[in-house]
Amino acid sequence: MKKYFSIITLTMMSILLFATTTIFAKVEIGGELNMTLSGVLFRESESLAYPQGSLDLELYIPPFDNNQIKSAIYLYTNPTTGKLDFMFKKLYLKHKFDKLQLTVGRQPISWSFGSMLNPVDFTLGSVVMDEEAGSKYQNAIEAYYPLNWNSSIAAIAAFPNGFENMKWGIRGRTTLEGYDLTLNYVREPEENSVETMIPVSQRIGFSAKGDLGPFGVYGVIGYNFEDINSGDFSFLAGGDYSYYFESGSKIYFQLEYLSIKEERLSSLLG
């Protein structure tokens, strides 16, 4: 209960703090509060209770002079320590030039689609089974350049482990005959750990998404490598269909197939 009171108290303090700001700067605050209580009952009549809570808070700041500031924080009960912890989801500045859009700071980065995971995402495992991971939010610089109304190029430089090692990627996107097509490249720096050193890894990916009659179809093909001559392929193929009733409700069907190297999948899912 003390953890709950801490979350509620912090929420009220945040609301009071930002309510004053709203009056003067038209800043609004929104979010979602979740609280759960899980319990385990053992055969020996022992029981354990696990209270957990999370709070999504986001500031809505009006744009000014082609600038936009985004700020969002996620507060949660750490399942390991049982204490209140937090993570910034968004804390960035976006500036729109005449033909370029630049975003600097903590921001969500994901090229994910489908249901399971995208094997050519900027960060593998950032979204798994529609659940977000902390790796989706990174300190990064993104430059977005629209070529025309349906084509664009985006370049990203991210710093997941500080400024010593830079991770970067580039993505081109266009539409052709009603299909959304993307081509991207990601280069991850080498990582040093206590046990071993993970060398530089790279991947190239191509994806397509669109409609085939009443069905939605999509697919991905990727090539992961350290050396261009010694790599492995990954594939994703899926389709979906919706059946609507006269009452307005619907049934949604989806079928998906994923092929990825076992070692890569185990490192993502544990």
Please write the tens of the pLDDT for every residue from 132-183: 888 899 999 999 999 998 999 999 999 987 777 899 999 999 999 889 999 9
Band the pLDDT of 42: cuts 50, 70, 90.
confident
Domain coordinates of the chain in residue numbers?
1-92, 97-270
Q: Tell me the pTM.
A: 0.77
- Is the pLDDT at 251 greater than 90? The verdict is yes
What percentage of residues in the chain have a pLDDT greater than 90?
42
CA nearest neighbour of 232 among 222, 241, 217: 222
- Neighbour-count burial of 124, counting CB atoms closer than 10 A to its CB (0-12 exposed, 13-18 middle, 19+ buried): buried
| Alpha helices by DSSP H, the chain | 2-25, 262-269
Only one residue has tokens 């600038």, namely 67
Cα angle for residues 264, 257, 265 (degrees, 5° grid): 10
Count other C-beta atoms under 10 Å from residue 243's C-beta.
10
> Could you tell me which residues come within 8 angstroms of residue 261 by beta carbon, excluding any fewer than 6 positions away?
224, 232, 234
Three-class DSSP category at 1:
coil
In our burial notation (b when 16+ CB lie closer than 10 A, e otherwise), range 34-68 reads: eeeeeeeeeeeeeeeeebbbebebbbebeeeeeeb
Phi, psi of 20 (to 5 degrees): -65, -40
- By DSSP bridging, strand 67-77 and strand 84-96 are antiparallel
- Is the pLDDT at 255 greater than 50? The verdict is yes
d(CA 68, CA 74): 20
In our burial notation (b when 16+ CB lie closer than 10 A, e otherwise), range 155-171 reads: ebebbbeeeeebbbbeb
Only one residue has tokens 């529609």, namely 130
- Is the pLDDT at 268 greater than 80? The verdict is no
Q: Report the residue count for the chain.
A: 270
Region of 227 on the Ramachandran plot (φ > 0 left; ψ -120 to 50 alpha; else beta): beta
- Partners of residue 160 on adjacent β-strands: 162
Could you tell me the end-to-end alpha-carbon distance of the chain, in angstroms, rounded to an integer? 31
175 touches 181 (CB < 8 A):
yes
The per-residue pLDDT for range 102-136, each reduced to its tens digit, is 999 999 999 887 778 889 999 988 888 878 888 89
